[in-house]
């Protein structure tokens, strides 16, 4: 995630900000330019863009009604919601204060997801554009044990249990499940991976290569998960998968790898905008990459992982321990995982450039 500056005074502002603390300008995120804009708001509620007054914008409906969004909508857009909020179709009862707070956290995490998807130029078809498999989110509250809400994906529908936005409940679940890492944003990145399997892999020229790397997705999914939860992962899972859950089925391996690709993309973007250089422990030498971040050809992405990401991950873990938080990125990357990440990168960059995929 990049940093931003207030268009009126130049103060550094952040992705979630709604006002500039230095000059008081109203702030709104422009999802087309992927940047923060500054506005004046008159007594009638009209928003005037300070950078280019001729550009007409209005705040997302959730910005005005609940202060649960800070994204803007072009005046020519007939939708009242921003490009992120309009993909949410089911929300909890917002008259309950706790539900409102948890829903707002859900939308905040989803906007971070959408920022990355827009930056990578990935398709985000809505249900209106693709009724059978367009992307839509249901944020559901479990009201009784007899009616469980399961987080998951089905044909473009991503359901997330509202309790995942509760830090206490999510941490207890992480501990009970024996997971090293569980975050709300991580859930979104994982589930959107299932969506992009359908969008970018299934039935395309990529499917044979993905099958060779991740395994045959036609094996029985329910049976594979049942076996995983009853027997656990194979003894050598750490040598071949990014997580133990990734070893349960090729679909889950893809979704876990996809989630980490988004983790890495966003973290490297953040490091670049904070001018974090190439890291190495004292006494070691970390060579500069041949190309600038974001400009590398597909074949050099593996080197970028080795030169930029792995040292950064080690630094983040060391910093987390120094602050008493433990490892911030508690994962290792053996060669098979690096191979899978490179394949995901190849598919994403091909989609962004609209080049034809190579033959299987």
What is residue 133's three-state secondary structure? coil
Rounded average pLDDT over 61-69: 94
Question: Mean pLDDT score of the chain, rounded to an integer?
Answer: 91
State the average pLDDT over residues 47-61: 92
Identify the helix (H) or strand (E) that includes residue 13. strand 12-13
Distance CA 130, CA 84 (A): 16
pLDDT value for 299: 56
Token pair 């053996």 in the structure block, residue: 334
319 Cβ neighbours under 8 A, 6+ residues apart: 328
Instruction: With a cut of 60, say whether residue 288 has pLDDT above it.
Output: no
Opening angle at CA 269, ends 264 and 270, nearest 5: 100
Question: Where exactly are the structural domains of the chain?
Answer: 4-83, 86-196, 203-360
Over residues 173-219, the pLDDT tens digits come to 999 988 999 999 999 999 999 999 999 999 999 999 999 999 999 99
pLDDT single digits (tens) 132-187 = 999 999 999 998 888 999 999 999 999 999 999 999 999 999 999 889 999 999 99
Question: b/e map of 301-328 (b: 16 or more CB within 10 Å)?
Answer: bbebbebbbbbbbebbbeeeeeeeeebb
What pTM was estimated for this model as a whole?
0.91
Does residue 9 surpass a pLDDT of 90?
Answer: yes
Say which residue the tokens 């944003």 belong to.
185
Mean pLDDT, range 273-300, rounded to an integer: 59
> What value does the mean pLDDT take over residues 276-291?
58
Measuring CA to CA, how many Å separate 95 from each of 62, 83, 108, 166? Answer: 14, 24, 19, 18
């Amino acid at each position: 995630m990049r940093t931003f500056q207030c268009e009126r005074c130049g103060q550094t502002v952040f992705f979630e900000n709604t006002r500039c603390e230095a000059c008081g300008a109203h702030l709104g995120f422009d999802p087309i330019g992927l940047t923060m804009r500054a506005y004046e708001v008159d007594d009638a509620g009209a928003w005037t863009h300070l950078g280019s007054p001729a550009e007409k914008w209005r705040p997302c409906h959730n910005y005005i009604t609940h202060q649960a969004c800070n994204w803007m909508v072009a005046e020519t857009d007939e939708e009242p919601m921003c490009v992120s909020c309009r993909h949410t179709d089911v929300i909890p009862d917002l008259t309950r204060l706790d539900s409102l707070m948890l829903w707002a956290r859900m939308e905040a995490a989803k906007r971070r997801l959408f920022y990355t998807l827009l930056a990578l130029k990935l398709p985000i078809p809505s249900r209106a554009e693709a009724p059978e498999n367009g992307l839509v989110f249901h944020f559901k509250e479990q009201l009784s044990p007899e009616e469980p809400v399961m987080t998951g994906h089905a044909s473009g529908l991503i359901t997330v249990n509202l309790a995942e936005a509760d830090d206490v409940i999510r941490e207890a679940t992480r501990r009970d499940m024996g997971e090293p890492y569980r975050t709300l944003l991580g859930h979104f990145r994982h589930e959107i991976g299932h969506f992009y399997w359908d969008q970018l892999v299934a039935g395309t020229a990529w499917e044979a290569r993905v099958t060779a790397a991740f395994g045959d997705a036609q094996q029985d999914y329910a049976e594979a998960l049942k076996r995983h939860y009853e027997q656990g992962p194979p003894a050598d899972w750490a040598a071949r998968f990014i997580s133990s859950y990734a070893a349960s089925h090729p679909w889950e391996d893809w979704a876990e790898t996809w989630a980490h690709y988004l983790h890495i993309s966003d973290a490297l973007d953040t490091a670049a905008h904070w001018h974090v250089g190439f890291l190495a422990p004292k006494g070691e030498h970390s060579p500069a990459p041949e190309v600038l971040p974001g400009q590398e050809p597909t074949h050099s992405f593996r080197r970028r992982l080795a030169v930029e990401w792995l040292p950064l991950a080690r630094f983040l873990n060391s910093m987390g321990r120094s602050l008493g938080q433990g490892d911030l990125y508690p994962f290792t990357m053996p060669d098979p995982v690096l191979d899978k990440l490179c394949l995901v990168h190849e598919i994403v960059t091909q989609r962004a450039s609209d080049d034809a995929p190579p033959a299987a």
